[in-house]
Amino acid sequence: MARESAAGPGWWRSAPLDEGVRLRAMAAADRRAGLRERALRGAGPDVQVVDVVGDHWTDLPGEFCDDDDVATTLQALTDGANLIWGAALPDDPVTGREGMRCTLAALPGGGYAPALVVNHKVVDPRRGGSSSRALVTRLLDWAPAPDPTLRVRRHPGDLDRLVHAWRLLEAIGHAGPEPIGAVLGLGSSRSVVHDLRPVLESADRTHATRLAVVRGERDTAPSRIGECRTCPWWAGWEGPAGPVVGCREQLIELDDVSLVVGGGLVGPLHAVGIDTVAELAEAGPDRPADWNGEPFADAVLRARAHRDGEIVVPKVARPTIPRADIEVDVDLESHLDDGAYLWGTLLTLRDGRPLDEEGYRAFATWAKLPHPDEGRSFAEFWRWLTAIRRRAEGQGRTFRAYCYSKSAENGWMLSTASRFGPDGAVVVVPGVPSVAEVRRFLSSPQWIDVHQAVTSQFVSTSGLGLKVVAPVAGFHWRDPEAGGEASIGWYRDAQAARGVERDAGRTRILAYNEDDVRATRAVREWIARG
């Protein structure tokens, strides 16, 4: 936490909102609006449904439950409504919990369970004897039952919010007899039920710690962790009472060691007297006793790079990456968890022999996701990629395809094949390969993760993402706002626009995607130059 001298009371209300957080909140609001009719549909004459907030539920930070919505919610609870959509739970001054919005479902045994509507996956297909079968229910008639086809995904953030909501319900005397909640997300038409008892104690401890910090009862000092990236305290901002100094500035002043190591590794360094980057840069080869992370030599090298003003430095004598006669760089664009709408490719013929036209190709759908046209665009991409591979093989030429951080590409290839391929998908799109065919390609030596090659051979003071490494390799994006979070906003704007504005938005996305594949090629060519 940063200094609060200039923040004043209620400082968080003036804090700037991270763009990624805003976009995800808006996407979740879109999903709630789309599910609202379905969730409320089927209510019979004896079923009481109270719609507190309608489709104007954004859940953006800084938007609070007003008194009228709280009063409506409390009356619906008193009346014994079966379902309260967009309920506004009041603040609890005793425990210091702030009020929140959620949906409340009546339980057969009395009381209510909180339910969240989220825009991420909450289940996966269940294969073989895997555990964690999902317990699912409709919200209008609470009757949890195991679904043998689904395996539950537990998101700590969802569980934390459910505990918060359940404690608020408990405070006003309307919680169910046991702590329980539900999440309606991607991958299931019904809500996934969570038993909150295993996480209740730890969530309460976390709340108590947060409350002590806010009340000034617990001393704090800044230390960089992963969440700093989206936190307004990191860079600071201009508050109503003056500038609020960010943690980054304080850490730089202190030369704090957390600037160059992950949050979980700071403690072991402090335990052996290493508090600053300069001290870590001069450390010997022996790692601290409780060090449990990256090789200690990498952390030392990163500290030296930070000290010397470098961004990316090699940790091997001569970095290498596999090359081929025919190379294809691949980059996808997706809209959150809704689907992958664009597969961009860059064909390079390194041996100079003709095969196909070199350059950038895009395989896209602009239908509002989720939509079967996503399968059509992926099928076109797969047919083209497969044809290039086969022609190369037929001519005795080597082939490789590259991406930067394969988790996204692999995940969406497999997801699209499972949703639109020939393996029993609800909607089968011609040309979409089977999951097995996709897996064979992904596990072959023809599919190269450039990010993996970078992380195994380099360290960086600013991460090893493409936007960090490519400029070091000499590549620069044409769009000054280029970035993954920005592209989500461009996609949303293009979907909402018409005519010239819509076409301009799509063109901007295509240019960004083309620069991404060219950046990927620039990085691997930079590695190959040694």
Residue 284 lies in a domain: yes
Residue 230 lies in a domain: no
Out of 209, 227, 244, pick the residue that ends a domain: 209
Residue 261 lies in a domain: yes
Q: Do 194 and 83 lie in a common domain?
A: yes
Q: Return the higher-pLDDT residue of 63 and 215.
A: 215
Q: Do 297 and 173 lie in a common domain?
A: no
- pLDDT grade, residue 43 (50/70/90)? low
- pLDDT grade, residue 11 (50/70/90)? low
Produce one character per residue of 165-201: b if its CB has 16 or more CB atoms within 10 Å, e if not.
bbbbbebeebbbeebbbbbbbbbbebbbbbebeebbe
User: Which of 18, 56, 184 lies closest to 114, judged by CA?
Assistant: 184
User: Quick one: pLDDT at residue 142?
Assistant: 92
Q: Do 502 and 371 lie in a common domain?
A: yes
User: Which of 3, 462, 5 lies closest to 246, judged by CA?
Assistant: 3
CA angle 211, 214, 218 (to 5 degrees): 80
What is the tens place of the pLDDT at every residue in 304-322?
999 999 999 999 999 999 9
Q: Is the pLDDT of residue 6 over 90?
A: no
Q: How far is CA 426 from CA 44, 419, 438, in A?
A: 30, 7, 19
- Structure tokens given for 134: 């999902």
Q: Do 397 and 507 lie in a common domain?
A: yes
Q: Do 264 and 352 lie in a common domain?
A: no
Give Cβ neighbours of residue 56 (< 8 Å, ≥ 6 apart).
Answer: none
DSSP per-residue string spanning 504-515: HHHHHHHHHHHH
> What SS3 state is found at 13?
helix
What is the tens place of the pLDDT at every residue in 423-457?
877 889 999 999 999 999 999 999 999 999 999 99
Return phi, psi of residue 422, to 5°. Answer: -85, 10
Stated as kind and residue range, the H or E segment containing 195 is strand 191-195
Q: Do 387 and 486 lie in a common domain?
A: yes
Q: Do 195 and 304 lie in a common domain?
A: no
User: Quick one: pLDDT at residue 5?
Assistant: 40
Out of 146, 175, 209, pick the residue that ends a domain: 209
- Structure tokens given for 469: 């490494």
Q: Do 451 and 333 lie in a common domain?
A: yes
- For residues 92 and 67, give the distance between their C-alpha atoms in angstroms, rounded to a whole number: 14
Q: Are 50 and 72 in contact (CB under 8 A)?
A: yes
Q: What is the CATH number of the domain that holds 451?
A: 3.30.420
Helix-helix angle 484-496:499-528, to 10 degrees: 160
Residue 233 lies in a domain: no
Q: Do 273 and 379 lie in a common domain?
A: no
User: Quick one: pLDDT at residue 219?
Assistant: 85
- Structure tokens given for 76: 């619906």
Q: Do 297 and 177 lie in a common domain?
A: no
- Where helices occur in 395-481 by DSSP H, the ranges are 406-420, 435-442, 450-457, 466-472
User: Which of 478, 187, 495, 497 lies closest to 364, judged by CA?
Assistant: 495
Question: Domain of 394?
Answer: 326-528
Lowest mean pLDDT across 93-97, 130-134, 435-439, 479-483: 130-134
Q: Is the pLDDT of residue 292 over 60?
A: yes
Residue 304 lies in a domain: yes
Residue 125 lies in a domain: yes
Q: Are 137 and 102 in contact (CB under 8 A)?
A: no
> What SS3 state is found at 328?
strand
- For residues 164 and 525, give the distance between their C-alpha atoms in angstroms, rounded to a whole number: 50
Q: Would you call 93 exposed, middle or buried from its count of C-beta atoms within 10 A (0-12, 13-18, 19+)?
A: exposed
- pLDDT grade, residue 61 (50/70/90)? low
361 alpha carbon, distance to own chain's centre: 27
- Structure tokens given for 513: 């995607």
- pLDDT grade, residue 205 (50/70/90)? very high
Q: Do 269 and 195 lie in a common domain?
A: no
User: Quick one: pLDDT at residue 2?
Assistant: 40
- Domain total of the chain: 3
DSSP per-residue string spanning 342-400: EEEEEEEETT---SS--EEEEEE--SPSS-THHHHHHHHHHHHHHHHHHHHHHTT--EE
Out of 209, 239, 270, pick the residue that ends a domain: 209
CA angle 204, 209, 215 (to 5 degrees): 120
Q: Is the pLDDT of residue 119 over 90?
A: no
- pLDDT grade, residue 8 (50/70/90)? very low
Give Cβ neighbours of residue 402 (< 8 Å, ≥ 6 apart).
Answer: 327, 328, 329, 330, 448, 449, 450, 520, 521, 524
User: Which of 351, 331, 375, 292 lies closest to 465, judged by CA?
Assistant: 331
Q: Do 95 and 203 lie in a common domain?
A: yes
- pLDDT grade, residue 396 (50/70/90)? very high
Return phi, psi of residue 442, to 5°. Answer: -65, -30
Mean pLDDT confidence for 126-131: 63
- For residues 46 and 78, give the distance between their C-alpha atoms in angstroms, rounded to a whole number: 17
Residue 487 lies in a domain: yes
- Dihedral over alpha carbons 414, 418, 423, 427 (to 10 degrees): -140
What is the tens place of the pLDDT at every residue in 223-239?
998 888 888 788 887 77
Q: Is the pLDDT of residue 182 over 70?
A: yes
CA angle 38, 342, 513 (to 5 degrees): 135
Task: Compute the radius of gyration of the chain from its Cα atoms.
Answer: 26
User: Which of 104, 461, 111 lies closest to 299, judged by CA?
Assistant: 461
User: Quick one: pLDDT at residue 304?
Assistant: 95
Residue 505 lies in a domain: yes
